[in-house]
Amino acid sequence: MNSFVVLWSKKRISKHGRLTSCLVLIALVMAPLVCALIFSDSMMEGITSKYIYLSSGHLQINAHTLEQAMENISESDHRQMIQYADEVTSGYALMYSATNTSSVMIKGVSSTYFNDLRIAQLTFETDATETIGATTNSNIKGIAISRATAKQLNVEIGDRVALMVVPDDASKTLRPVLLRVQAIFHTGYDKLDQLLSFIDLDYAKTLYPSIASTTVEIIVPPEYMENLDSVISALNLEGKNAISKWSSLNVAVFNNFVISKQMIMIILLLVTVVAAFYTASVAQQMIQDDMQDIAIVKLIGSSNAQVKKSAFISVYTVTLGGMIVGIGLGLLIGCNLGPILTKLSNLGIQGLSFYLLDFNITIPWLSIGLISVALMVISFVAIQISLLRTKLITPMRLFTEV
């Protein structure tokens, strides 16, 4: 590279306070963008995991027994593509306490249902996962309800609640059932908490005897999560009973997440465009301030291409520097979002109650890369357009301004 270009580029970077402010601005733009991407992706992935592991599984087969669902599936395929398979009976009911009511989904599960993956998605206030649905001394079955439901009904462990079971057969009438609160849990996401409750599988089958109320929830290994169709095909499940993917079982949640991700990316790209055009205005102002210097270097023999190139390197280097600093700062803050959000939630900020705050951090490198490339490309074009003005600056300007 020409020594004049290198020297004058360095001089511009060190001289112009406006370039420093450009670096700071780009950094302050990129940092919250990266934080927003980390927060949204991590939260959505966390909520998705909770719905998959606690509500529907990755796949759901309409089969009355686990053996019926697993028939004709070879042992090798079962080990390779199915991590867990659990028989579940579910239905809806109105839950009553002495003071309030709540609409809940009753899930009848066995003790093996709460495997390591599911236990990681919720927290029991008592270690009752092995005794859900066990008969107490008063012959009243137990039920596990969420902390959100317990708060709404104003009940605690040991209190009695009444269920008005919604029958799975339209010809049957509503019937009340008395249960004892045996465990209270929370997932960290109130919207899901308010829906779920667990009872013993055998007892649930007496409340919801229809074959359609019993399904088998399948959890697949991580390597198959993004390609469930291949699992369905490999296990020959297409024409067998009725099988559903989690995205079709939780359509509203899935569609909301897809739309939310698209809208977030559009908004962040628009912010990036604004930041990129700010760098163009910085380049334009720098040319305006340095008109006399540019005229002098052209007078002593520098070409317009050299002047333009040195100005471009100055602004673009600062832009890239601000982007790198911003990404680094955003990653630093984003990787510590959990403790930060927890402290804010403890301060009583009501808006945070609508979000899942207990999630594993996921860094969306692809989205960060897309935002970064957009900033680099748009800045490149915008700065080049702004620097076209250097052609209009000639040595004659020195004499006309005297």
Condensed to tens digits (0 to 9), the pLDDT of residues 190-216 reads 778 888 899 998 888 888 888 778 888
Residues 26 and 124 in one domain: no
Element (H, E) at 312: helix 304-334
Spatial neighbors of 257 by CB under 8 A, at least 6 apart, are 44, 47, 48
Task: Please answer whether residues 143 and 179 qualify as being in contact, where contact means their C-beta atoms are separated by less than 8 angstroms.
Answer: yes
194 near 146, Cβ under 8 Å? yes
Is 56 a member of any domain? no
Q: What is the DSSP letter of 350?
A: G
Is there a single domain that holds both residue 261 and residue 396? yes
- What local confidence, expressed as pLDDT, does residue 337 receive? 79
- Average pLDDT in the chain: 77
**What pLDDT band is residue 281 in, cutting at 50, 70 and 90?**
confident
Task: Give me the residues paired with residue 104 across strands.
Answer: 93
Contact call for residues 154 and 114 (beta carbons, < 8 A): no
CA–CA gap between residue 9 and residue 22 (Å, rounded): 15
Give backbone dihedrals phi and psi of 397, rounded to 5 degrees, phi first. Answer: -60, -30
Of all residues in the chain, the percent with pLDDT exceeding 70 is 70
Model confidence at 170: pLDDT above 80: no
* Counted domains in the chain: 2
Per-residue pLDDT reduced to its tens digit, 299-329: 666 666 777 777 777 778 888 888 899 999 9
Which of these, 268, 338, 328, 266, lies nearest to 43 by C-alpha position? 338
Residue 132 lies in a domain: yes
Please give the C-alpha separations between residue 8 and each of 4, 13, 318, 377, 381, in angstroms, as whole numbers: 6, 9, 14, 24, 21
Can you count the helices (H) and strands (E) in the chain?
16, 10
Tokens read off for 251: 């359509």
Residue 144 banded pLDDT, cuts 50, 70, 90: very high
In whole angstroms, give the CA distance from residue 277 to residue 279: 5
CB proximity list for 347: less than 8 A, separation 6 or greater: none
Q: Are residues 388 and 268 in the same domain?
A: yes
Q: Where do the H-state alpha helices sit in 71-168?
A: 75-81, 116-119, 147-153
Instruction: Give, as one character, the DSSP assignment of residue 279.
Output: H
79 found inside a domain: no
77 located within any domain: no
Same domain, yes or no, for 113 and 167? yes
| Predicted pLDDT at 402 | 46
Instruction: For 242-387, list the strands marked E by DSSP.
Output: 243-245
In the predicted structure, residue 138 carries a pLDDT above the cut 80: no
Write out the H or E segment, with its range, that includes residue 337: helix 337-346
Nearest Cα neighbor of 108 from 179, 205, 181, 183 is 205
Give yes or no for a contact between 298 and 311, defined as CB atoms under 8 angstroms apart.
no
Name the domain boundary from 219, 237, 270.
219
Contact call for residues 136 and 82 (beta carbons, < 8 A): no
- The residue among 162, 193, 219 that closes a domain is 219
**Whether 228 contacts 220, CB under 8 Å:** yes
Residue 392 lies in a domain: yes
> Minimal CA–CA distance to 386: which of 283, 286, 292?
283
Q: Rounded CA gap, 98 and 164, in Å?
A: 14
Pick the closest to residue 132 from 120, 119, 151 (CA basis).
119
Query: Quick one: 26 and 128 in the same domain?
Result: no
CA R_g for the chain? 31
Report the relative pairing of strands 175-186 and 142-146 from DSSP bridges.
Answer: parallel
**Considering 202, 219, 236, which residue would you say is the last residue of a domain?**
219
| 64 vs 208: CA distance, rounded Å | 12
Residues in the chain, how many?
A: 402
* Domain co-membership, 104 together with 185: yes
In a domain, 316, yes or no: yes
Q: What is the pLDDT of residues 89-129, one digit of tens each?
A: 988 888 998 889 988 889 999 888 988 888 888 888 765 54
* pTM for the structure as a whole: 0.73
pLDDT at 305: 74
Please check whether residues 178 and 293 belong to one and the same domain.
Answer: no
Tell me, yes or no, whether 243 lies in a domain. no
The domain of 374 spans 3-48+254-400
**292 and 159, same domain (yes or no):** no
Q: Nearest 5 degrees, angle CA 141-CA 147-CA 151? A: 100
Looking at the fold, whether 290 and 210 belong to one and the same domain comes out as no
Cα–Cα dist 214/205, whole Å: 8
Map tokens 């028989």 to a residue.
87
Shared domain for 95 and 173, answered yes or no, is: yes
Angle at CA of residue 253, ends 247 and 256, nearest 5°: 110
SS3 call for 175:
strand
3-state secondary structure of 226: coil
- Residue 215 forms part of a structural domain: yes
Same domain, 285 and 170: no
Examine the domain organization and report whether 33 and 136 are in the same domain. Answer: no
Q: What is the residue type of 33?
A: L
